[in-house]
Structure 1
Amino acid sequence: MNVKIYTTVTLIVGIVIIVNLLSDQYFIRLDFTEDKQYTLSGATKNILKELNDPVTITAYFSKGLPPDIARVRRDFREMLIEYNNVSKGMLVYEFVDPGKDDEKEMEAMQNGIQPVMINVREKDQMKQQKAFMGALVQFGEEKEVLPFIQPGVAMEYALSTAIKKISVIDKPSVGLLQGHGEPAINELQQVNVELSILYSFEPVTLTDTTSIPDRFKTLAIVRPTDSIPPSHFDKIDEFIARGGRLFVAMNRVKGDFSTAYGSSVNTGLETWLRNKGLQIDDNFVVDVSCGSVTVQQQQGVFTFSSNVSFPYLPIINTFAKHPITEGLEAVIFQFASPVSYIGDSTKTFTPIVKTSEKSGSLPVPQYFNIEKQWTELDFPLKNLAVGGVLEGNLFGNTPSKIVVITDGDFAVNGPGGQQLQPDNISLMVNSIDWLSDDTGLIELRTKGITYRPLDQLEDGTKTFLKYLNFLLPVILVIVYGLIRMQHNRNVRIKRLEESYV
């Protein structure tokens, strides 16, 4: 009997030891999140499988951190184990604790990883502690620094893009048209950061005698404000005729907040696109799902700021099922216009970005009345296309593609570097990825972005819910009181009957 018990205990202990040893290198994680935030994306797996030379990751993480911070180190380590398994050993890693000696701390800082100060509680007192939470990614002579590792989906995106950035040898070129009032590359800061992972993003200036260089497969035309000469359109046609792809983000209308006036924009690009079959109306799109503007209001002697809904700033969350819009949840436009296809059957147009079920289209000129009380009658239309893809033989006999977005400012940070919605940036970068036949990071770029707007309700529904919210508790109390009163009455009657008997 004792031998049997001893054998069973030994077997259980052995199994536990083996499981722990295996779990140190392999583990299974069940992911029940909506967009599989804790499962490696297909883009990451493709990046790792394409590695021809080893990638070395040195993770500088301090030990002895509070549990919520230490979790980041554990999550990063588990992610590196998965990366190592998927890459079949082409990705190797090590963890270094810079707090052990001054030499390691100096090494981390020389590699671009600076310590951060975190609050820790020790003996009922709050203290600040220096912590390292970064990593160095190396591929041959190339290096990329992750100065601060963030938890969640951002961790996978930062690591995978760093690997992709340094492992790509010959980056294809993407051009940004200049010379007609377009923003410079430094005014598209967020777009430039994303594109620099896979591409060489370069300015392109046209003249009557120069053409678009052959190294460019995709050309971006973003928010031109001046007239584009016909000779420049000839150069763009030549580019398309040899299979070049085009991304266009243009303004057909513009609004001036200082004068509260909206007018049309004419650069010649609208005529050139119309000849290709795309009609962009010089109308303002308005949408019940919209952004807000800050206005100064006077009440007595007091002046205060308040946010007012402004339907001319549509929040777009209706997207077609397309690689460009995969994973997008909300894009904010500023003064967009409707686009439609008026060409023949030799080309195909696919709307990929649309307004909500309650939207409208207003002709120019427009005077913006911030105090206007908008009603449902102002939004008689639905699902107006404000962006789409045109495919076919657009010039000559070589198939090509054009992505058109009818807001030229949606991805422009401007000279001041205003930060934009992540999905705004993803819409442009995904478009260029798709046009350039390199969709490797589309899936990962939009993974984990969450936007959960409240459903728009009818006025009658709002009124019903308001009164229901007010009256239901009162009714429940009254009903409970009546039930309790009847119950007590029945008890008294029963007691009287028993006493009578």
Structure 2
Amino acid sequence: MKASIQKNIKTLGVTVFVLIVLNILGTLFFHRFDLTKDKRYTLSATSLQIVKQVKDPLSIKIYMQGDLPADFKRLQLETKQLLEEFQSYNNNIAFEFVDPLENKAESMDIVKSLYQKGLTPINITVDDKGKQSQAMVFPWAVAVYDDKEVNIPLLKNIMGASTTQKVIGSIQHLEYSIADAINKISKVKQKKVAILKGNGELNDVNIAQMLKQIRESYYIAPFTLDSVAKNATGTLSALKEYDLAIISKPTETFSDEEKQVLDQYIMNGGKTLWLIDQVSADMDSLYNQSGATLAYPRNLNLTDMFFKYGFRINPDLVKDEQGSPIKLATGEQGSATRYQDFVWKFAPQVYPTSQHPIVKNLGGIKFDFASPIDTLKNGIKKTVLLQSSPYSKIIGTPSEINLNIVTEKTSPEEYLNKGNLPLAVLLEGNFKSVFENRVLPFKESSFTAQGKPNKMIVISDGDLARNQIDKNLMPVELGYDQRTGNLYDNKDFIMNCVNYLLDDTGLINIRSKDVSLPLLDKEKVYENYSQTQFITIGLPILILLLFGLAFTYIRKRTYSK
């Protein structure tokens, strides 16, 4: 008896000792185990770096609580688990889930206040065993840090996708959405972006949403080239203070002096994002009595410079069978007028095929009157980011563009070996000056013929970064088409370009992270509803019951001897 007691005491002592050692080791060495195949809950190095930036309390309020549809319960759970990961690495991060519709008496006021903040609810149809009902959900969160506030969209809008598909896509981008928001409000701005003016570029109201997005992470300011005529050297020196220059749809010719300023800015390591319309054509000019307009080449005096850098934007248009939808009036004018959806072939709807981080996991991107880009061999690395579909071809200019094109009949043979035309290209390397071995437009003592390692992105559509204007003359979200109600991924693409050019590649890599989410087949579940319920709920309980009975039986049999 005494031996048995001593043995039990010894076992207890060893157990207590092991537990104490494990606790001490746990406090000294922190590690969380992620057993998922795709490492869904393992934060990337970039996210961990962003978390370390948070030195003061940061609170996140998630408006997804209460009676949620099944898909959104999954999104809620994934959000909670991911936020717990963020919190485990920094105790300054706190979060809570709230139900904006919990108090019926105050719900309308709360909904209104959230709407004013830009947190728009979505109404979804819930299908439960064939029974449909409507539900309002706020797939949003708000992060607050040092009197700064940022909205976090938790649901990614994917065109043509079901609610389930949207939730899956959102879960894939969840880490990016949260990390990006924390980064925006906790990071000290360093890089500077210049928005070039002076050559008929887009007005600020037309690129307001792009400017807003860039301003959240970088310093941004307009930069005019008008001063080149009076003080070219001073203008170049001022431009060199910026890390990135964005040239958005210039419509007026660049002088040789202005070209030299841009050229030397690039030679000295300045990054550039070119959004160029090589053909003069736009949708507004089509909405007239004839429904037609003339598309003609635009001379910007940049061809030789682009050629030297290793590419050429041809003064042609891309006609693509995978065009964007357009609504046009049909029938007689007056009460009989109807609006019908057509495919507008001069507005390619491009889905990225490249695995480059800039475009990986992005949805459809809308172009308008885009031109094909030729890449030339000159030692510069070129990566085609976006290209037209296989069923596309080149239309030369000048040529008439008519709305009646929506009714034309085509066959695949018309596009044989003509498609996959580059529309956006990334160039990386040591660029050579277009003014090498040439007389300089203005004297410059620090002229450089061979550039530093650099990169630029060329997009053959100046309107890709253009946001539409609503009836109240306010800019709508970049990528949103008011005529069809579709939301394209233009904003994400532009921001990925900016981040990549400014070497903020970490967030882009988070966005391109692949997450695998296995789903149940709803139709099979409905067909075998009782069987599915038994397998998912009853069977685990039955297994536990059998295990308990077996354990009790074995225990009694062992100690009854």
Fold shared, TM-score > 0.5 on shorter chain: yes
Shift in Å, 1:133? 8.4
Q: 1:335 to 1:84 in 2, by over 3 A?
A: same
Aligned to 1:235: 261
Aligned to 1:197: 216
Distance in 2 (alpha carbons) for counterparts of 1:176 and 1:438? 19
Name the aligned partner's letter for residue 315 of structure 1: Q
**Which structure 2 residues correspond to residues 122-271 of structure 1 after superposition, within 5 A?**
137-139=143-145, 141-146=146-151, 152-153=170-171, 156-206=175-225, 207-208=227-228, 209=231, 210-211=235-236, 212-255=238-281, 256-258=285-287, 259-271=292-304
User: Aligned residues, how many?
Assistant: 414
Name the aligned partner's letter for residue 459 of structure 2: I
Kept after mapping to 2: 8 A contact 1:51/1:90: no
Please, what TM-score do these two structures have when normalized by structure 1?
A: 0.69
Aligned to 1:429: 495
Name the aligned partner's letter for residue 250 of structure 1: I
Distance in 2 (alpha carbons) for counterparts of 1:292 and 1:96? 38
Shift in Å, 1:243? 0.7
Distance in 1 (alpha carbons) for counterparts of 2:64 and 2:357? 40
1:379 aligns with 2:446: no
Aligned to 2:537: none
Kept after mapping to 2: 8 A contact 1:240/1:394: no
Unaligned runs of 5+ in 1: 1-24, 120-127, 450-501
Kept after mapping to 1: 8 A contact 2:34/2:42: no
Aligned to 1:393: 431
Shift in Å, 1:236? 0.8
Kept after mapping to 2: 8 A contact 1:223/1:409: yes
1:81 aligns with 2:84: yes
Kept after mapping to 2: 8 A contact 1:218/1:247: yes
1:405 aligns with 2:459: yes
User: What is the aligned-residue identity percentage?
Assistant: 23
Distance in 2 (alpha carbons) for counterparts of 1:227 and 1:273? 14
Kept after mapping to 2: 8 A contact 1:326/1:443: no
Pick from 420, 429, 439 the counterpart of residue 505 of structure 2: 439
Name the aligned partner's letter for residue 420 of structure 2: N
Distance in 1 (alpha carbons) for counterparts of 2:368 and 2:355? 23
Unaligned runs of 5+ in 2: 1-30, 125-133, 156-166, 434-448, 480-486, 516-561
After TM superposition, the structure 1 stretch with the greater mean CA deviation from structure 2, 262-271 or 220-229, is 262-271
Instruction: Supply the RMSD in Å over aligned alpha carbons.
Output: 4.4
Kept after mapping to 1: 8 A contact 2:274/2:457: yes
Secondary structure of 1:399's match? strand
Shift in Å, 1:239? 0.9
Shift in Å, 1:296? 2.3
Secondary structure of 1:225's match? coil
Aligned to 2:327: 294
After TM superposition, the structure 1 stretch with the greater mean CA deviation from structure 2, 405-414 or 194-203, is 194-203
Tell me the alpha carbon deviations over residues 86-121 of structure 1, each in whole angstroms, 9 at most, x when there is no partner. Answer: x25353445678979x9xxx99989979998999xx
Distance in 2 (alpha carbons) for counterparts of 1:299 and 1:115? 37
Shift in Å, 1:318? 4.4
Aligned to 2:347: 313
1:278 aligns with 2:314: no
Secondary structure of 2:489's match? helix
Distance in 2 (alpha carbons) for counterparts of 1:195 and 1:45? 20
Tell me the alpha carbon deviations over residues 427-479 of structure 1, each in whole angstroms, 9 at most, x when there is no partner. Answer: 22211211111113224456799xxxxxxxxxxxxxxxxxxxxxxxxxxxxxx
Kept after mapping to 2: 8 A contact 1:112/1:147: no
Secondary structure of 2:362's match? coil
Kept after mapping to 1: 8 A contact 2:327/2:342: yes
Distance in 1 (alpha carbons) for counterparts of 2:328 and 2:137? 43
Q: 1:385 to 1:194 in 2, by over 3 A?
A: same
Q: 1:289 to 1:349 in 2, by over 3 A?
A: same
Shift in Å, 1:129? 12
Shift in Å, 1:260? 3.4
Q: 1:318 to 1:215 in 2, by over 3 A?
A: same
Q: 1:254 to 1:372 in 2, by over 3 A?
A: farther
Aligned to 1:461: none
After TM superposition, the structure 1 stretch with the greater mean CA deviation from structure 2, 291-300 or 244-253, is 291-300
Distance in 2 (alpha carbons) for counterparts of 1:62 and 1:393? 50
Tell me the alpha carbon deviations over residues 367-410 of structure 1, each in whole angstroms, 9 at most, x when there is no partner. Answer: 23423222224323132212212232233332222211111111
Kept after mapping to 2: 8 A contact 1:276/1:343: no
Aligned to 1:330: 364
Q: 1:31 to 1:61 in 2, by over 3 A?
A: farther
Distance in 2 (alpha carbons) for counterparts of 1:223 and 1:312? 17
Distance in 1 (alpha carbons) for counterparts of 2:120 and 2:298? 50
Shift in Å, 1:148? 7.9
Distance in 2 (alpha carbons) for counterparts of 1:426 and 1:252? 24
Distance in 2 (alpha carbons) for counterparts of 1:445 and 1:193? 20
Name the aligned partner's letter for residue 438 of structure 1: D
Q: 1:283 to 1:27 in 2, by over 3 A?
A: same
Distance in 1 (alpha carbons) for counterparts of 2:185 and 2:339? 47
Secondary structure of 2:386's match? strand
Distance in 2 (alpha carbons) for counterparts of 1:361 and 1:129? 47
Shift in Å, 1:265? 1.5
Secondary structure of 2:211's match? helix
Q: 1:213 to 1:26 in 2, by over 3 A?
A: same
Distance in 2 (alpha carbons) for counterparts of 1:385 and 1:148? 31
Distance in 2 (alpha carbons) for counterparts of 1:194 and 1:224? 21
Shift in Å, 1:303? 3.2
